[in-house]
Amino acid sequence: MHLSPLQACEPTKTPEVDQNALYQRYLAERDKRLRADGQKQYVESSADFADIYDVDPHTPVAPRPPLDDDIEVVILGGGFAGLIAAHRLLRAGISDFRIVEMAGDFGGVWYWNRYPGIQIDSDAYCYLPLLEETGFIPKEKFSRGDECYEHAQRIAHHLGLYDKALFHTMVLSLNWDEEIHRWQIVTNRGDDLPDRHQPW
């Protein structure tokens, strides 16, 4: 009987491992990294980092007047989670909402992170939402960052979300007003969004 090379292959011989010695080695490496000051090594920042988190290297901030909308829902963030939330609201017949996003466009992490070679580490058909709804077929099994960003824009256009988005906008306060039973949302752009329901 003739055996294929795969069938004739002997089992892989693995070396014996001294598990206790390996464990002690990892403990020794850990001990090198432990600090006596523990949590005290972290210093609370008192500086104002507005000049950092307010800067968008991709899109200039467009001036706009502050909004005082009486809306039903506010979605915080325009990444895939925010886009899915908007999709589900629309499916439920709720169109009276706003999407508050610090970036200059939809996309979340894929808006901000554009370094060469960036890709997802999950199968695109599992990771990218609303493929059937938008009719999009990923080009690769592990989509590249620009494709993820473009897909976020595709979803937003497909659902008509650009008119509902407040870009370059950060929530400064989110407080429940017990007297009027409403959420009061104030942003860095001077928006005051009385919300009839808890934000998503």
Host domain of residue 158: 73-112+146-195
176 inside domain? yes
103 inside domain? yes
Token pair of 23, please?
């464990």
Query: Tell me, what CATH number does 172's domain have?
Result: 3.50.50.60
5 inside domain? no
Q: According to the model, what pLDDT value does residue 200 have?
A: 42
Q: According to the model, what pLDDT value does residue 10 have?
A: 79
174 inside domain? yes
21 inside domain? no
86 inside domain? yes
> What CA–CA distances, in Å, run from 15 to 12, 18, 19, 25, 95?
10, 10, 12, 18, 63
- Total of domains in the chain: 1
132 inside domain? no
**pLDDT tens, the chain, 200 aa long:** 666 666 677 778 888 889 999 999 999 999 999 988 988 888 877 776 666 666 899 999 999 999 988 888 999 999 999 999 999 999 999 999 999 999 999 999 999 999 999 999 999 999 999 999 999 999 999 999 999 999 999 999 999 999 999 999 999 999 988 887 888 899 999 998 875 544 54
20 inside domain? no
Backbone angles phi, psi at 173, to 5 degrees: -150, 145
Q: According to the model, what pLDDT value does residue 5 have?
A: 65
Q: According to the model, what pLDDT value does residue 8 have?
A: 72
Q: According to the model, what pLDDT value does residue 1 have?
A: 61
Q: Which residues of 32-44 are buried (b: 16+ CB within 10 A; e: fewer)?
A: eeeeeeeeeeeee
What's this model's pTM, rounded to 2 decimal places? 0.74
